[in-house]
Amino acid sequence: MQLVKIRRLLHVSLQRHELIRRGMASDRASTAETTRFDFLVIGGGSGGLAGARRAAELGANTAVIESHKLGGTCVNVGCVPKKVMWNAAVHAEYLHDHSDYGFATENAQFSWETLKAKRDAYVSHLNRIYRNNLDKAKIQTIQGYARFTDDREPTVEVNGKKVTAPHILIATGGQPSVLSDDEVPGASLGITSDGFFELETLPKRSVIVGAGYIAVEMAGILATLGSKTSLVIRQTGVLRNFDAFISANCTKELQNNGIDLWKNSQVKSVSKTDKGLEVMIVTKDPEKKNDEKISTIEEVECLLWAIGRQPNTSGLNIGSMGVDTDERGHIIVDEFQNTSRPGIYAVGDVCGQALLTPVAIAAGRKLAHRLFEGKKDSKLDYSSIPTVVFSHPPIGTVGLTEEEAINSNGKENVKIYKTSFTPMYHAITSRKSQCIMKLVCVGKEEKVVGLHMQGLGCDEMLQGFAVAIKMGATKADFDNTVAIHPTSSEEFVTMR
């Protein structure tokens, strides 16, 4: 019913566009069956929608093609529902602290079902907001899968209809990588972060595979909400591309939070029994090369693969368009988001660089300004992008790691400031968690090129410091800033 309605709406408005366009491009009778726009966006996620809306604001006749729900990964299976779950997990942590602060809340029962219903309702609400925003901006929403055709001029086909524009933006994002049953027998019995958001009940026993931020966040949420959780990582620490200080601390915090960490381990096979999944794990002894230990985790209700993400390019037929991709399928773009094919651009996760919503949004908007406002230099600066991991406690990081700073500046030109302390919130709780902070400074003027932290409140602390670091702040600027007492963030400006 809903689909029919959308189709009909689509049909009516497509006709409208055709009429308008036909008048303006009457010499192109051969493409009369092709609907023409000024700007065509493939993918209605963060980057695509932001680019489309900005282009429409600047007067471009714009369409967005989306095969699933508007809002993309962030809204449907990423940042937003993830943060809702993290907030729920934070409440679970508070439960331990209530009695220390004088509240009597013993034996509170948790209902995953209630939480999921509320979360889904909120996400649907956002989907509707996105739809309304597009409608208000007079942007055509086309529901369906886009595929580039063989036409001379870049054109895509959706639901059997051809659509084209002089500027086509690919913002199809990515999806969790999966292993085939050939690679790991029974791998398909597991889920990914997409499946996590479909779980109807809290799994009693979970196994997460991966050491990246998604694995860390998923493991943290499940464990904190009461699932017995194991995390299987190939080496000895999580978040290995983060500063070593953070990587080591986060690994420790996961264990402090009761997560059963399997280092130097990989899943060998998965099988299904009537009591759940049996996950067979092989653990290597890093000292003795050929020494392997095989173990089995039984009665697993949720096996979650968080082993990376891959770009959504299959089915787009970009191969025949002369749009270059890297070995992992990411679309290669220059600093202005141009692909190797003129008239085709790409932003966001599909490019494989800084997979973050605000990055995609900013890149999409910058592109719109370049294409439709004549701002030739409009491009996103990908340096010093702040990012937060919603672990327990959260991590905030911006700029270079110590290792990166040493590699590019030499050890003698890098100065490190570090501190760790117990946040005041934990002064009177029996549950304790440290806050750690680190500044990476370079040169005689001690320019701050990296800031890394993990602790209560670090998620909200980072943004303002990111502005200052982007401005080129030095350690002296940190020292010259008066603290706000009592906060955790003040430790950054009182570091010695």
Partner 1 sequence: MKASLRWLVTHVEVAPLGLPQWQTRFRGGHYTGSFHNNIMAALCRGRHRWKGLKGLQVFTRNLAGRYDYDLVVIGGGSGGLACSKEAAQLGQKVAVLDYVEPTAKGTKWALGGTCVNVGCIPKKLMHQAALLGTAIKDSKKYGWQMPETVHHDWATMAEAVQNHVRSLNWGHRVQLQDKKVKYLNLKGSLLDEHTVRGLSKAGKETILTTKNIVIATGGRPKYPTQIPGAVEHGITSDDIFWLKRAPGKTLVVGASYVALECAGFLTGIGLDTTVMVRSVALRGFDQQMAGLVTDYMVAYGTRFIWRSVPKRVDKLSSGTLQVTWSDTETGREHKDTYDSVLWAVGRAPETKALGLDKLGVQLNKQTGKILVGPDESTSVPNVYAFGDISEGRPELTPTAIKAGKLLAHRLAGHSADLMNYDNVATTVFTPLEYGCVGLSEEEAERRLGKDGIEVFHAFYKPLEFTVAERDASQCYIKVICERGGHQKILGLHFTGPNAGEVIQGFSMSLQCGATYSHLLQTVGIHPTCAEEVVKIHITKRSGLDPTVTGC
Q: Buried b / exposed e across 388-401, counting CB within 10 Å, b at 16+? A: bbbbbbbbbbbbbb
CB of 460 to partner 1, least distance (A): 4
d(CA 465, CA 475): 12
Site for partner 1 in 339-358 (CB under 8 A): 356-358
Minimum CB separation from partner 1 for residue 14, in Å? 25
Site for partner 1, residues 422 to 441, rule: CB under 8 A: 424-425, 427-428
Of the pair 314, 463, the CB lying nearest partner 1 is at: 463
- Which is it for the CA torsion 187, 193, 197, 201, positive or negative? positive
> Which of 51, 71, 186, 364: binder of partner 1 (CB under 8 A)?
71
For partner 1, the closer CB: 4 or 121: 121
Q: Do 93 and 224 meet the contact criterion of CB atoms below 8 Å apart?
A: yes
Decide: 230 and 206 in contact? Cβ < 8 Å: yes
Q: Nearer to partner 1 by C-beta: 112 or 336? A: 112
Stretch that binds partner 1, among 55-63, 80-88, 151-159, 286-294 (CB under 8 A): 80-88
For partner 1, the closer of residues 149 and 193 by Cβ is 193
Q: Is 102 marked as binding a ligand?
A: no
How near is the Cβ of 19 to partner 1 at its closest, in Å? 31
What distance in Å separates the CA atoms of residue 354 and residue 25, rounded to the nearest whole number?
39
485 classed as catalytic: yes
Residue among 337, 455, 465, 328 at smallest CA distance from 391: 455
Least separation in angstroms between residue 319's CB and partner 1 is: 31
The Cα–Cα gap between 400 and 413 comes to: 14
Asked if 386 touches partner 1 (CB under 8 A), the answer is yes
Q: Which two tokens stand for residue 330?
A: 């990411």
Residue where the block lists tokens 């039984």: 298
Minimum CB separation from partner 1 for residue 227, in Å? 14
Residue 405, number of CB atoms within 10 A of its CB? 22
Q: Which residue(s) pair with 432 in the sheet?
A: none
Q: CB of 355 within 8 A of CB of 336?
A: no
Q: Which of 98, 330, 452, 485 is catalytic?
A: 485
How crowded is residue 373: how many other Cβ atoms within 10 Å of its Cβ?
Answer: 15
User: Binder to partner 1 among 218, 346, 362, 368 (CB under 8 A)?
Assistant: 362
Q: Rounded to an integer, what distance in angstroms lies between the CA atom of residue 88 and that of residue 76?
A: 17
Q: Residue 106 has which token pair? A: 């013993």
Q: How far is the CB of 427 from partner 1 (least distance, A)?
A: 5
For residues 281 and 295, the answer to whether their CB atoms sit within 8 Å is: yes
Q: Which amino acid is at 231?
A: L
Q: How many residues bind partner 1 (CB under 8 A)?
A: 85
Pick one of 80, 171, 184, 442: the residue that binds partner 1 (CB under 8 A). Answer: 80
> Can you tell me which of 15, 273, 408, 463 binds partner 1, judged by CB under 8 A?
463
Q: Which of residues 191-230 bind partner 1 (CB under 8 A)?
A: none
What are phi and psi for residue 356, nearest 5 degrees?
Answer: -140, 140
Q: Is 58 in the site for partner 1 (CB under 8 A)?
A: no
Exactly one of 124, 255, 296, 480 binds partner 1 (CB under 8 A); that residue is: 480
Cα–Cα distance measured from residue 162 to residue 173, given in angstroms and rounded to the nearest whole number: 22
| Subset of residues 84 to 123 that bind partner 1, contact rule: CB under 8 A | 84, 87-88, 91, 94-95, 97-105, 108-115, 118-119, 122
Whether 215 has a binding-site annotation, put simply, is yes
Q: Of 29 and 104, which has the nearer Cβ to partner 1? A: 104
* CA pair distance 218, 255, nearest whole angstrom: 14
Q: Is 491 annotated as a binding residue?
A: no
Min dist. Cβ of residue 100 to partner 1 (A): 6
The answer to whether the annotation marks 210 as part of a ligand binding site is yes
For the chain, what's the residue count? 496
Does the footprint of partner 1 cover residue 3 (CB under 8 A)? no
Given the structure tokens 């973050």, which residue do they identify? Answer: 356
Cα-only R_g, the chain = 25
Q: Is 308 assigned to a binding site?
A: yes
Q: Which of residues 442-461 bind partner 1 (CB under 8 A)?
A: 457, 459-461
157 annotated ligand binder: no
- From the CB of 398, what's the least distance to partner 1, in Å? 9
User: Taking contact as CB under 8 A, which single stretch among the options 26-34, 153-161, 438-446, 485-493 is the one that binds partner 1?
Assistant: 485-493
Give 229's Cβ-side CA count (13 Å radius): 26
Please name which of 252, 266, 187, 177 lies closest in space to residue 216, comparing C-alpha atoms: 252
Footprint on residues 131-170 left by partner 1 (CB under 8 A):
133
Residue of the chain from 286, 319, 342, 486 that contacts partner 1 (CB under 8 A): 486
Tell me, rounded to whole angstroms, the distance of Cα 185 from its chain centroid: 28
Closer CB to partner 1, 314 or 421, in the complex: 421
CA angle 254, 255, 261 (to 5 degrees): 95
Pair of tokens at residue 356: 């973050």
- In the block, tokens 């409208």 appear at 16
- 216 is annotated as contributing to ligand binding: yes
Of 37, 38, 77, 130, the residue at the interface with partner 1 (CB under 8 A) is 130
DSSP secondary structure of 261-286: EETTEEEEEEEEETTEEEEEEEEE-S
The residues annotated with a catalytic role in the active site are 485
Could you list the residues known to form a binding site for NAD(+), using ranges: 210-217, 308
Could you list the residues known to form a binding site, using ranges: 83, 210-217, 308, 349
Could you list the residues known to form a binding site for FAD, using ranges: 83, 349
